[in-house]
Amino acid sequence: MIEKNLNIALVDDDNDDRTLFELAISRIGIPSQLKMFKSGIELITYIRDPAIRRPDLLFLDLNMPNMDGLECLKEIKQDPGLRDITVIIYSTSCSEKDIEATFLEGANIYLNKPSDFNDLKKALKRILALDWQYQNSTLNRDNFLFRL
Amino acid sequence: MKIQVKFDVQLICKNLLIEKLDQLGVVYRLNPPGGIEILQNLDKEQKVVLFHELNTSGIEVIGDQQLIRVQKVKEIISNLVRLDTFDESMKVSAHIEEKLPYTYSYLSRIFSETAHISIEKFLILKKIDFVKELLTEQNLSLTEIAYKLNYSSVSHLSKQFKNTTGFSPSYFLNLKKQLNITG
């Protein structure tokens, strides 16, 4: 079937941010499953397990202890089995340097963490809908770059 | 003893499909490639059984009629964007209605339901996708692209690009160039 639930993963070391994210996703109305991780290492261990269904899209915080978002992104994009996952950088940083660096490492979307819950919901809805088009239409994935 | 076999994949798939459908006892007609017309009314439960049986045997059901119609609308839009005669003022609704035997309001509704995006937004996404391609692969200038895709002005194109992708066209192009060097 073309229509399937989107499999979403979030990596964020901040407890409150994870809770808000989960709530926002549940209110959007696009069928999806969400898995959340507290660190990049936790995520990498999980998605390397061949028994699991790989996420379709991955939200990645940048500032995290031990393995930060950028390192995590590099690790994923270097792995041929994981390279196709849509990666969304989900960070409070709006420095052009971070934005450019993550795109150059292969991130598909850059999202500044909105401070307002409704804005977060709107942004997530747009991203889920967008990713869905790239998975199910003849859109060119090589050019899949967005900044929201 | 060792033997080597050769598969006629088409035939095997067709036979498997026939076997499955016969087992389920539905009345059907095959419209190759890949089309199956069910010639009887199935209730919800029978539909579930049918989809399940097919999906678990390596055959993938592309879905019901709604999904197929949405897929057709997507194809029409994809072709439309690339038409040489694409005109911004062209009524997309009329163009789609001309090609499919349904009203635009119906198609618009099922499109939003299944694709999670409106037809209008999908059209813009598709257009910008094409603009990206023209920018990076064919090295056209923004002026040339605006003319080719019948935008009323370069600034309109620029604005739509920025609204959709979050980048200005020049920033995007710069990023892509750097990506090509590093990647």
Locate the domains of chain B by residue range: 9-61, 66-122, 125-182
Say if strands B28-31 and B35-38 run parallel, antiparallel, or are unpaired. antiparallel
Q: B166 at the A interface (CB within 8 A)?
A: yes
Q: B61 at the A interface (CB within 8 A)?
A: yes
Q: Is the pLDDT of residue A145 over 90?
A: no
First to last CA, chain B: 50
Integer CA distances (angstroms), B113 to A26, A138, B51, B100, B108, in order: 17, 19, 21, 18, 9
The CATH class, in words, for B125-182 is mainly alpha
Q: How far is B180 from chain A (nearest CA, A)?
A: 9
pLDDT in tens, A31-86: 899 999 999 999 999 999 988 889 999 999 999 988 899 999 999 999 998 988 99
pLDDT at residue B96, as a whole number: 92
Integer Cα distance of A14 and A9 in angstroms: 15
CB B119 within 8 A of CB A129: no
Q: Is the pLDDT of residue A26 over 50?
A: yes
pLDDT in tens, B63-118: 677 888 898 899 899 888 888 766 666 688 888 999 999 999 999 999 998 888 99
Q: B122 at the A interface (CB within 8 A)?
A: yes
Which residues of chain B make contact with A148, given a CB cutoff of 8 A?
166
Q: Is the pLDDT of residue A1 over 50?
A: no
Contact B78 A137 (CB under 8 A): yes
Phi first, then psi, for residue A37 (nearest 5°) are: -130, 150
pLDDT at residue A2, as a whole number: 47
Which residues of chain A make contact with B182, given a CB cutoff of 8 A?
104
Contact A133 B115 (CB under 8 A): yes
pLDDT at residue A118, as a whole number: 95
ipTM, two decimals: 0.86
Contact B132 A140 (CB under 8 A): yes
Q: B132 at the A interface (CB within 8 A)?
A: yes
Contact B61 A1 (CB under 8 A): yes
Nearest residue of chain B to residue A135 (CA atoms): B115
Superfamily of domain A6-138: Response regulator (3.40.50.2300)
pLDDT at residue B156, as a whole number: 95
pLDDT in tens, B23-44: 888 888 887 666 788 888 877 7
Contact A145 B172 (CB under 8 A): yes
Average pLDDT estimate for A9-17: 95
First to last CA, chain A: 30
